[in-house]
């Protein structure tokens, strides 16, 4: 994680850019992708355990967003819909929507993120989890990407830009 952050920071500090397209990012997908999780194209992950699915944003996402300074999360008891936003993260100058990979009822929200939003950067798959949901459709989980597919997706996305 530290090496990735250093590589990304160095690239930014050196202002490495192409002459014609200075906004191209040269950081490639050094991000961690965990087996056993499912992934959405909008870079959220889902961990399904029993009747509950835990959701957060991936290492790739947090790396590209930068230091997270604020997290907006919904209240427990609400619902989420596949592909729709349920919250937002703020990183320095930008708010970015976080979208739910699945539909269901929110049963728990990670309250630690209000005081320690940086957990999303330091531990995106563990302490940086965002909400826990009771899924309403098992088919939605199956339609998500596995780890290999998501790794390839990230590589192709970074390579195309």
Partner 1 sequence: MPACIHELFVEFIVSVYHRHHHTYMHAFGIGLTGLVVALGYLMKQKNHHISLPLQLLLPRRFGITDSSFYVCGPALKDIKGKSPSLKFERRKKNTRPGILVRQLHIEEQLLRTSSENWCIINDGTNDPTIVMGFSGKPAELLEIESVLHDQVPVIRRFTGGGTVIVDHQTIFVTFICNKETVPDLQPYPRPIMSWSSSLYSKVFGGIGDFHLRENDYVFGNHKFGGNAQSITKNKWIHHTSFLWDFDVRNMAYLKLPKLAPAYRSARGHLDFICRLKDYMPRSTFIDKTVEAAGTQFSLRSLELEAVVTCSETEFRPSTRFLTNEELAAAAAAVSEQQLGLP
Q: For 33-52, give one letter per residue: b (16+ CB within 10 A) or e.
A: beeebbbbebbbbbbbeeee
Sign of CA dihedral 84, 55, 36, 157: positive
Select from 32, 52, 81, 85 the one that contacts partner 1 (CB under 8 A).
Answer: 85
Does residue 14 touch partner 1 according to CB under 8 A?
no
Considering only 14-22, 74-82, 121-129, 138-146, which stretch makes contact with partner 1 by CB under 8 A?
A: 14-22
Residue 112: phi, psi to the nearest 5? -65, -25
Does residue 157 touch partner 1 according to CB under 8 A?
yes
Distance CA 136, CA 17 (A): 45
Select from 1, 90, 105, 118 the one that contacts partner 1 (CB under 8 A).
Answer: 90
Of 79 and 107, nearer to partner 1 (C-beta) is 79
Residue closest to 56 by CA, chosen among 117, 130, 147 = 130
Distance of closest approach, residue 51 Cβ to partner 1, in angstroms:
28
Binding pattern for the stretch 38-67 against partner 1, x by CB under 8 A and - elsewhere: ----x---------------------xxx-
The answer to whether the beta carbons of residues 57 and 93 sit under 8 Å apart is no
Sites of contact with partner 1 (CB under 8 A): 12, 17, 21-25, 42, 64-66, 69-70, 72, 83, 85, 88, 90-97, 99, 157-158, 160-161
């Amino acid at each position: 994680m530290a090496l990735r952050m250093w590589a990304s920071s160095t690239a930014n500090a050196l202002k490495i850019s192409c002459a014609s397209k200075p906004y191209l990012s040269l950081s490639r997908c050094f991000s961690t992708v965990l087996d056993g999780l499912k992934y959405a194209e909008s870079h959220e992950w889902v961990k399904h355990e029993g009747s509950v699915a835990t959701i957060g944003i991936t290492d790739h996402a947090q790396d590209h967003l930068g230091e997270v300074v604020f997290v907006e999360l919904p209240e427990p008891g609400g619902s989420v819909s596949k592909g729709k936003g349920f919250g937002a993260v703020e990183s320095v100058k930008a708010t970015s929507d976080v979208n739910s990979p699945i539909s269901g009822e929110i049963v728990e929200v990670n309250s630690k993120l209000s005081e320690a939003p940086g957990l999303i950067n330091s531990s995106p798959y563990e302490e940086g989890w965002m909400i826990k949901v009771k899924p309403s459709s098992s088919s939605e989980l199956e339609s998500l990407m596995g780890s290999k597919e998501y790794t390839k997706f990230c590589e192709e996305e970074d390579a195309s830009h």
